[in-house]
């Protein structure tokens, strides 16, 4: 177990990675998660439109716990056809070729994904992909989204039943909350129907950081509680 973790850390070149919002809708949740793994393995390049990674199928499988067969036969072909990335196959030795991938490096409209997400064995790759998708739909600098379920499953490119399956799983795993049950720091009184992601491995500042930094006055707290009670 410890050796596996050490190998994963070698592939994970940084503490967190950016993830372009535009990828949501182009890839299904499981593939979003794999793409995030590629981003985590990429090397930071200042003033560059792309990020480079030469992560192998075996390394990506080791990092994400997704089978090598799925990556080779499903994810990679879809990724290459999507036009989202560019790539080249380089002859590195006489009998050794290696894929080099160039990932979009946006200056805006991205999210931060922390490397600990990839080491969380309590959630499946599909659930992690849904989390990444939901986080990308959140209002900037928040962990809440105020969209109907239908808007969400259409944005994620999945069926109604598939979305409800993973939504319910995230609720049961205490990842997805209603605004009424979330900390005041994560909510907005004008959007009390919004859902709130409370997963610790998202964001440059996590939801825990936001709660810790939040310091409302007693009057603000009382006003908030009264408003929540009235709406409920």
Are 46 and 69 contained in the same domain?
yes
Residue 76's CB is within 10 A of a number of other CB atoms, namely: 18
pLDDT band at 47 (very low <50, low <70, confident <90, very high): confident
Q: Is 50's pLDDT higher than 90?
A: yes
Are 40 and 65 contained in the same domain?
yes
d(CA 192, CA 198): 16
Domain final residue pick, 74, 104, 134: 104
Q: What is the mean pLDDT of residues 156-173?
A: 97
Is the Cα dihedral 184, 187, 191, 193 positive or negative? negative
Are 94 and 128 contained in the same domain?
no
Domain final residue pick, 70, 104, 138: 104
Are 148 and 221 contained in the same domain?
yes
pTM: 0.90
Is beta strand 176-178 parallel, antiparallel or unpaired with respect to 86-93? unpaired
pLDDT of residue 173: 97
Q: What is the pLDDT of residues 105-148, one digit of tens each?
A: 999 999 999 999 999 999 999 999 999 999 999 999 999 999 99
CATH number for the domain spanning 26: value is 1.10.10
Q: Which residue has the higher pLDDT, 7 or 160?
A: 160
Q: How many domains does the chain have?
A: 2
Q: Range of 174's domain?
A: 119-231
Question: How much of the chain exceeds pLDDT 90, in percent?
Answer: 77
Q: Is 157's pLDDT higher than 80?
A: yes
pLDDT of residue 2: 47
Q: What is the mean pLDDT of residues 38-50?
A: 90
């Amino acid at each position: 177990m410890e050796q596996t973790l050490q190998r994963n850390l070698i592939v994970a070149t940084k503490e967190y990675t950016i993830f372009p919002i535009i990828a949501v809708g182009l890839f299904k949740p499981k593939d979003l998660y794999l793409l995030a793994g590629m981003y985590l393995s990429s090397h930071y390049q200042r003033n560059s439109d792309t990020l480079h990674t030469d992560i192998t199928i075996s390394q990506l499988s080791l990092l994400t716990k997704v089978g090598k067969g799925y990556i080779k036969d499903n994810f990679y072909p879809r990724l290459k056809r999507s036009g989202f990335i560019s790539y080249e196959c380089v002859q590195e030795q006489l009998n050794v070729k290696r894929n080099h991938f160039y990932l979009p490096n946006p200056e805006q409209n991205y999210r931060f994904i922390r490397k600990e997400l990839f080491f969380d064995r309590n959630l499946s790759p599909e659930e992690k992909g849904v989390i990444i998708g939901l986080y990308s739909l959140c209002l900037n600098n928040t962990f809440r989204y105020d969209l109907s379920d239908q808007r969400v499953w259409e944005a994620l490119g999945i069926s109604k039943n598939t979305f409800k399956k993973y939504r319910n799983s995230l609720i049961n795993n205490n990842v997805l909350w209603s605004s009424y049950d979330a900390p005041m720091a994560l909510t907005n009184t004008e959007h009390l129907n919004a859902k709130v992601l409370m997963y610790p491995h998202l964001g440059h500042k996590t939801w825990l950081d936001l709660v810790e930094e939040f310091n409302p006055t007693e009057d603000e707290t009382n006003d908030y509680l009264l408003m929540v009670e009235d709406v409920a």
